């Protein structure tokens, strides 16, 4: 007779998950968990000190990822995961800091922080789960929503074109830029593993299905249908110029690692400019104040 204990199968990635928090809040067919599986495998496949690894999310369905990882987990405010992560990194440069959040969070309300963290080349890795919708709030149009999509706030089809994230962060100065879909689990894992080892601002966009709030309203079927769609439409073009990777409704989905370059990150540059060992600079500032004046002047 087998017992439940005998039946326990060790999930290869469970060591980096907060098992006690599972099941997740995510719907059947949702792509967020798929990306987490790749991420967890990437983390475990590296000689990364998990005790020195922090994960920061904003708010949204994707923003819940930080809370399922057995790392130092920070679930911050909507749009502000990147500046929080910046603070962690600056005050403890030993930390590996990963931001994991949604498209609305990172690129609309948090868009300014995305641009400036890339410009500074802050040494953090950003995973953007792009389900092309504000999911957690019930399916409103986002900056990433394909034009003419039906959403709760665009009942006649959205009137706006979607943003091209790889092009944006490339232009802002990210040193590593990639895009995959939830169909490309192995490629995503490899890219994440590579990005985890790189220094500087790294950005990975992952297209994921939101069957509940995006696909359904736009007659795009379920999570499985999304996988078939990703498989049929995607084309791997590593090194593709990011101005050629914009997503068109129904068009080709260009995936791959687009940018992988070297540029001095913020802290390295700061230390270089301050002199190699800035903590040994003289402790006292120049005294500009006059001394001994009375308090009534």
Partner 1 sequence: MMHADPNCVLTGTHFMNGDAACCEGAIAAGARFAAGYPITPSTEVVERFAARVPKIGGIFIQMEDELAASITLQGMVWAGAKSFTVTSGPGYSLMMEHIGFAAMTETPCVFVNVQRGGPSTGLPTLPAQGDMMQARFGSHGDYSTISLVPNSPQECFSLTVKAFNLAEKFRVPVMFMMDECVGHMTEKVVIPDAKEIEVTPRRHASKPPSEFLLFEPGEELVPEMAHAGEGYKVYVTGLTHDKRGYPLMNPASQKELIPRLFEKISRAADELTIVESEGLEDADVVVVSYGITSRVAQRAIEMARAKGLKVGKLRLICVWPFPEKLIRELAPKVKALVMPELNMGQVVIELERCAGGQCKVISVPHPGGTVHKPADILAAIERGAQ
Ligand X SMILES: Cc1ncc(C[n+]2csc(CCOP(=O)(O)OP(=O)(O)O)c2C)c(N)n1
Question: Of 78, 113, 120, 179, which one interacts with ligand X (CB under 6 A)?
Answer: 78
Residues 207-226 that bind ligand SF4 (CB under 6 A): 210-213
Residues 240 and 74: their CA atoms lie apart, in Å, by 34
Is 291 a binder of partner 1 (CB under 8 A)? yes
Is 121 a binder of ligand X (CB under 6 A)? no
Residues 41-60 that bind ligand X (CB under 6 A): 59-60
Is 27 a binder of ligand SF4 (CB under 6 A)? yes
Nearest alpha-carbon partner for 178 in 135, 125, 104: 125
> Would you give the binding string for partner 1 spanning residues 14-53, x where CB under 8 A is met?
----x--x-----------------------------xx-
Question: Of 36, 103, 204, 259, which one interacts with Mg ion (CB under 5 A)?
Answer: 103
Is 34 a binder of ligand SF4 (CB under 6 A)? no
Residues 112-171 that bind partner 1 (CB under 8 A): 112-113, 115-116
Nearer to ligand X, 103 or 257 (CB): 103
Is 104 a binder of ligand X (CB under 6 A)? yes
Select from ligand SF4, partner 1, ligand X, none the partner in contact with residue 212, using the beta carbon and a kind-dependent cut-off of 5 to 8 Å: ligand SF4
Is 102 a binder of Mg ion (CB under 5 A)? yes
Q: Which residues bind partner 1 (CB under 8 A)?
A: 18, 21, 51-52, 54, 56, 67, 70-77, 79-80, 82-92, 94-95, 112-113, 115-116, 270, 274, 278-279, 281-285, 289-295, 297
């Amino acid at each position: 007779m087998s017992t439940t204990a005998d039946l326990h199968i060790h999930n290869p990635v469970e060591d980096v998950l907060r098992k006690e928090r599972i099941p997740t809040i995510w719907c059947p067919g949702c792509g967020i968990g798929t990306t987490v599986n790749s991420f967890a495998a990437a983390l475990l496949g590296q000689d990364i000190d998990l005790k020195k690894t922090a994960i920061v999310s904003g708010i949204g369905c994707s923003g819940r990822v930080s809370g399922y990882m057995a790392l130092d987990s920070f679930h911050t405010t909507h749009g502000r995961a990147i500046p929080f992560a910046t603070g962690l990194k600056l005050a403890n440069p030993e930390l590996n800091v990963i931001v994991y959040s949604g498209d609305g969070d990172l690129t609309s309300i948090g868009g300014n922080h995305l641009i400036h963290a890339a410009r500074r080349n802050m040494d953090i890795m950003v995973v953007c789960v792009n389900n092309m919708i504000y999911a957690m709030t019930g399916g409103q149009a986002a900056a990433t929503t394909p034009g003419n999509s039906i959403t709760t706030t665009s009942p006649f089809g959205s009137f706006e074109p979607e943003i091209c994230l790889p092009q944006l962060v490339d232009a802002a100065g990210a040193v590593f830029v990639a895009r995959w879909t939830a169909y490309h689990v192995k490629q995503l894992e490899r890219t994440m593993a590579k990005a985890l080892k790189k220094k500087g601002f790294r950005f990975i966009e992952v297209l994921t299905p939101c069957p509940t709030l995006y696909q359904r309203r736009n007659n795009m079927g379920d999570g499985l249908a999304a996988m078939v769609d990703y498989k049929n439409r995607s084309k791997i073009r590593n090194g593709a110029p990011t101005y050629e990777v914009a997503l068109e409704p129904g068009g080709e989905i260009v995936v791959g690692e687009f940018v992988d370059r070297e540029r001095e990150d913020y802290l390295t540059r700061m230390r270089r400019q301050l002199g190699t060992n800035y903590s040994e600079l003289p402790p006292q500032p120049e005294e500009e104040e006059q001394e001994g004046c009375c308090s009534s002047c």
